[in-house]
Amino acid sequence: MTDLAFTQNRELSWLAFNDRVLTEATDETVPLLERLKFVSIFTSNLDEFFMIRVGSLFDLAGVKADARDRRSGMTPKEQLEAIYAAVRPLYHKREEICASLEKQLRMHGICRLTWDELESSEQKYCARYFKTSMLPILTPQIVDTHHPFPHLKNNVLHVGAWVKYRVRDVFAVIPLPDALPPVLFLPGSELRYIHTEDILLNYVEDIFTNYAVQEKVVFCVTRNADINPNDENFDLYGEDFRKQMQKALKQRMRLAPVRLELSRPISADFLDYLKNRLPVVDAQIFVTSAPLKLGYAFSLVDRLSEVKQKALTYPEFTPALPAGYDPRVSMAHQVMQHDRLLSYPFESMTPFLNLIKEAADDPAVISIKITIYRLARKAKLVDYLCTAAENGKDVTVLIELRARFDEQNNIDWSERLEDAGCTVLYGFEDYKIHSKVCLITRREHGEIRYITQVGTGNYNEKTARQYTDVSLLTADQKIGQDAQEFFKNMCIGNLEGHYNELLVAPVSLKSTLLERIDDEIAKRDKGRIIAKVNAVTDVELIEKLKQASCAGVQIDLIVRGICCLLPGVPGKTENIRVVSIVGRFLEHSRIYCFGAGARESMYISSADFMTRNTQRRVEVACPVYDPEMRERLHDILNACLKDNVKARVLQSDGSYLPHHTEDSPFECQQYLLNEALERPAAEPEAREVREHSGGLFHSLRKRLGK
């Protein structure tokens, strides 16, 4: 792509997304403790961004320094410079938000304390904790001629000190052991706590007793963690893929530093020492008074009274059972009657799990085949698959060991599945299997019948309560035959398979999407495209959408995160609108619509409009034919486009502005939540929440024209 007038850099677009996450922490309509969680999410997002995206740019700069990004024309070095410049103000914003939130939380008895703020009895409590629980497992180290500079683990907090031994300045360091909790909760009626690193910081002098401590700091090194298994020779020495992945995980801990975070300013000599030893440059160093780690924010809720939980967190809800679902009737029978669509987290995953549980014991079921990318730490799905295999069913699991940061979890599950008698396959050397497909094959009255599930999100029972996703259950035999062909091809290593209904990357998904856009271009100003995805980076799709805009096609894109396409550019993308929604739940579903009315083509998919999805992964998009299911998907899309509370609209300069309208406030996630809970099939616990917020539902539904 040579015309850069309507595109922007991927990494800067991602930083803008994470800024929107951080901005949620300033929304006074969001409960106070939930706002702290958004700061925590922002922080962990940024950690991963540096490990993966910044890490990959460092690699690229070393291998091909003159390579230019096709969407911004920037070299790797220029991108890194722009990233560091864009991140610095985000640190300042995070500091201000943290200080404000902690001040407000103190009014509710939730206090993060420094050592100097502790009462005398609390200091004694911390002293006992340090001596009995911390000191025995610490590994302090001095760096001198006999003690080399240690490897500082990736993303682990350390306490560093600049100390004097006789006439020499020496570096001393103590890593925080993984076995220690991030905070110590203090005794008393209020929720008072101190960070573990702050306790350790206070006792540095007691640890290095023979040295004069001149200054001390909490710091964290972020390393390049962009392990690319495609570059590994997994056949080396005859070792299998799983063992090679385990080696790759160990290597991840030792890669080059890309960021250094400090809890306070330090002297020039101390800083120069760290810069030279790591090594890092000034642009990579960030000093912040806010906590370096905030993951503990999610654990505070369980320590609150019921009254405070209601005041400081979102109202609890239990995902509803879908309309028309009858738990007393076989799920397989219900799907055979007509298609079912589950909308997470508003609806429960229970119907799908029950389908697998039934299949494990159903004499008519011959086989179960499924692709797995991410699973919860505790997964009923695995239990049911293992039961099916133990009952003599043919169970085939295509599990992706390279699901970033879930590799070890998937390795563990693969071993459990194999032990139960499942056939476990690991996919392709050059292509991650990211699709979400499950096929149940039955023999009824001598005939083969299929039940197919295709989803936009993982089979993760935990994130199904946190991410918005959709899952289609269908007995459409044409789709089932395609799913059977898909699994056959995956098992024999064939990426070139032909499918009549499913769109499968890397072969037919992208080409079909381009054809569908061309169909709308042919209609000119009668054309219509709506797509809901997590990211838009694929250059060819961006160019084709620009062509559609120039032809007069009206295009609405609902893009949660990265969007390299800039809308509203005169003569190029003025017929494209891009909306981003960041709210209580992570927007994760992918829905594509081309055309309008009865001739509209509609798909749900595991794939974003990203080159890695369309060309370098195995992805599946499934057509949706059932009129009722199509209406429900349009309900989701229309709600997103109507949102004027959480929605932000992308501008032609890359900035985002709130979607202000003259309509009454409308929040799509709250609407969909209330819509699900209003149904008669809702569980008793869900009905309690429905009664709490049902009045809002009626007004929201009225505004959508229901």
Asked if 74 and 9 count as a contact pair (C-beta separation under 8 A), the reply is yes
Query: Is 696 found in the same domain as 594?
Result: yes
Query: Is 287 found in the same domain as 174?
Result: yes
Query: Is 440 found in the same domain as 344?
Result: yes
Query: Is 695 found in the same domain as 634?
Result: yes
CATH number where 248 lies: 3.30.1840.10
Domain assignment present for residue 539? The answer is yes
Domain assignment present for residue 288? The answer is yes
Domain assignment present for residue 238? The answer is yes
**Under-70 pLDDT residues of the chain:** 1-2, 226-254, 403-406, 680-706
Query: Is 337 found in the same domain as 301?
Result: no
pTM: 0.90
Asked if 513 and 492 count as a contact pair (C-beta separation under 8 A), the reply is no
Domain assignment present for residue 2? The answer is no
Q: Which residues are catalytic?
A: 434
Q: Determine the pLDDT at residue 497.
A: 94
Query: Is 134 found in the same domain as 54?
Result: yes
Q: Whole domain around residue 33: which residue ranges? A: 10-312
Query: Is 455 found in the same domain as 567?
Result: no
3-state secondary structure 102-165: HHHHHCCCEEEECHHHCCHHHHHHHHHHHHHHHHHHCCCEEEECCECCCCCCCCCEEEEEEEEE
Predicted confidence (pLDDT) per residue in 508-549, tens digit: 999 999 999 999 999 999 999 999 999 999 999 999 999 999
Handedness of CA 599, 600, 606, 611 (dihedral sign): positive
Q: Determine the pLDDT at residue 407.
A: 76
Query: Is 341 found in the same domain as 233?
Result: no
Predicted confidence (pLDDT) per residue in 87-111, tens digit: 999 999 999 999 999 999 999 999 9
Query: Is 148 found in the same domain as 66?
Result: yes
Domain assignment present for residue 605? The answer is yes
Q: Determine the pLDDT at residue 58.
A: 84
Q: Determine the pLDDT at residue 233.
A: 29
Domain assignment present for residue 172? The answer is yes
Domain assignment present for residue 381? The answer is yes
Query: Is 196 found in the same domain as 301?
Result: yes
Residue with tokens 């330090």: 266
Q: Determine the pLDDT at residue 236.
A: 28
Domains of the chain: total: 3
CATH number where 591 lies: 3.30.870.10
Query: Is 519 found in the same domain as 624?
Result: yes
Domain termination site, one of 491, 525, 546 = 491
Domain assignment present for residue 246? The answer is yes
Asked if 534 and 547 count as a contact pair (C-beta separation under 8 A), the reply is no
Phi, psi of 667 (to 5 degrees): -115, 115
Q: Determine the pLDDT at residue 702.
A: 41
Query: Is 517 found in the same domain as 646?
Result: yes
Q: Determine the pLDDT at residue 409.
A: 77
